[in-house]
Amino acid sequence: MLIANFVQKIIENTDYQEIDRVYLFNKVQALVGDGDVEEKDGNPLDQLVDLAVSRKKIPDDQTSREILADQLADLMTPAPSKVNDLFWNKYHDSAKTATDWFYQLCIDNNYVKKDAIAKNVVFSGDSSYGHPLEITINLSKPEKDPKAIAAAAKKRDDSYPKCDLCLENEGYLGTYGKNARSNLRIIRMNVGGEKWGMQYSPYAYFNEHCIFLDEIHEPMVINQQTLTNLLQIIKTFPHYMVGSNADLPIVGGSLLSHEHYQGGGHRFPMMNAVIKKELTFAQYPDVTGGIVDWPMSDLRLISKNPTSLIALGTEVINKWQKYSDESLHIVAEKDGVLHHTVTPIAHKDDDQYVLELVLRDNNTSEEYPLGLFHPHADKWHIKKENIGLIEVMGRAILPGRLKAEMAEVKKFLLDQPNEMAEIHRDWAEGLKQAHSGLNEGNVDDLLQQALLDVFDQVLADAGVFKNDDAGNAGWDRFLAEVK
């Protein structure tokens, strides 16, 4: 039976005992309505939510369904204190043992939406730099509920929780305009002498996509403390990478109001890219590295000594924040507004700490109103949004609309009746002219590579020092300031 079987799972996965069975049965009935029913094939949570809708316990809308599903999942999830105790006890065996356990818990309690994530389109392929790039077309995160959109428009600055990343989301019921988080669990940890948390992302963009969040709701900033924090996290979780979105609009992430980083178990393309020009630093003899062969402007620093990486990395950040090279349209400040920052990423290779500093500039112009170092207009039909941390490292997050739109482009390339969006016409006609003999057997591979080529060009647009003679000379001028 559906409710009885769900109660059994609760007892198996928590500290509840056999004596609690009747109590739990009634707790579930209070949420979905009285009376058990036969369990069918499929996700029991979905069946329980459907049951609640059919019995008019909740309205039949996306937000109400999510809230109830998370309430039910919360019943079979240990309390935050217990989760933290178990995590850090397992950490004594190894960091990976602890994260493996916690990640599986978040899958089992449906906080990480594995079924939804599986709907994403994911592929990889060649780039002009010889390093495979990665594409994801994001189909997992549901479109906003219209009621939620209306509620968000009326949101007050003093609302609770203040944002989606606040620690106060743990156990929060949710409502229209506020995400359901009853089944969220956050691992408490110390980062840079402050209280932080670690959780997994419900709609992950890569393997074990996790978020490290400051307990205090304060704006993102990139400085020496950022590098200290990132390298401490890598010391704590050496099998993960971790990075921060830049702290300025256009080149930053979608949420700049709360200090946070993103990490996980994925090896990103940029991490595999080779160094095209090796560098040494007289004041830091224990640091090696150089300019990375990558479309964006990445300076890689490598050392067994995190203290040296932090000191040199801070010097690079401080120099870049004030550095201008108007011959390359690189301007640090206009009318008292700073335009330079970095996207920092940390990881380990064997016993070496690696710090990647990707230089960012968020200037705009009449020709490039969304950003000089932002996807240019000829690529907006594929990618118009900010180039954030994940994309900097070579994994594109493309909008879900592209799945249906590429199906129409495919028909166009095969000379079939189609409803191709006009925004794709110039690009699609160029593909058709460049490739003869297109057929059902090869058109999908062609389209995938064409998307990868656009992403390759998007990253080049975002690079402040281009991969040409002028860009290489620009690198030399900037590094002379550092060395």
Same domain, 51 and 125: no
pLDDT in tens, 108-139: 999 999 888 999 999 999 888 777 899 999 88
Same domain, 18 and 129: no
Length of the chain: 483
Q: Looking at the domain assignment, is residue 166 inside a domain?
A: no
**Close Cβ partners of 287 (under 8 Å, ≥ 6 residues apart):** 280, 281, 301, 302, 303, 305, 308, 309, 312
Domain count, the chain: 2
pLDDT in tens, 24-59: 999 999 999 999 999 999 889 999 999 999 999 999
Predicted model pTM: 0.92
Same domain, 362 and 276: yes
Residue with tokens 């249906």: 404
- Residue finishing a domain among 23, 41, 60: 60
- Residue finishing a domain among 38, 60, 82: 60
Number of H helices, E strands in the chain: 16, 15
Torsion of CA 261, 264, 267, 273, to 10 degrees: 10
What is the per-residue burial (b if ≥16 Cβ within 10 Å, else e) of 137-148? bbbbbeeebebb
Q: Looking at the domain assignment, is residue 407 inside a domain?
A: yes
Q: Looking at the domain assignment, is residue 87 inside a domain?
A: no
Lowest mean pLDDT among 19-28, 133-142, 194-203, 389-398: 133-142
- Of 340, 316, 291, 365, which Cα lies nearest the Cα of 483? 316
Same domain, 277 and 359: yes
- Between CA 465 and CA 468, with CA 466 as vertex, the angle to 5 degrees is 120
User: Does 148 have pLDDT greater than 60?
Assistant: no
pLDDT at res. 1: 92
Q: Looking at the domain assignment, is residue 286 inside a domain?
A: yes
**Close Cβ partners of 341 (under 8 Å, ≥ 6 residues apart):** 222, 246, 247, 248, 251, 252, 317, 320, 321, 360, 362
Helix H, strand E, coil C: the string for 108-121 is: HCCCCCHHHHCCCE
User: Does 65 have pLDDT greater than 60?
Assistant: yes
Could you list the residue range(s) of the whole structural domain that residue 40 is in?
1-60
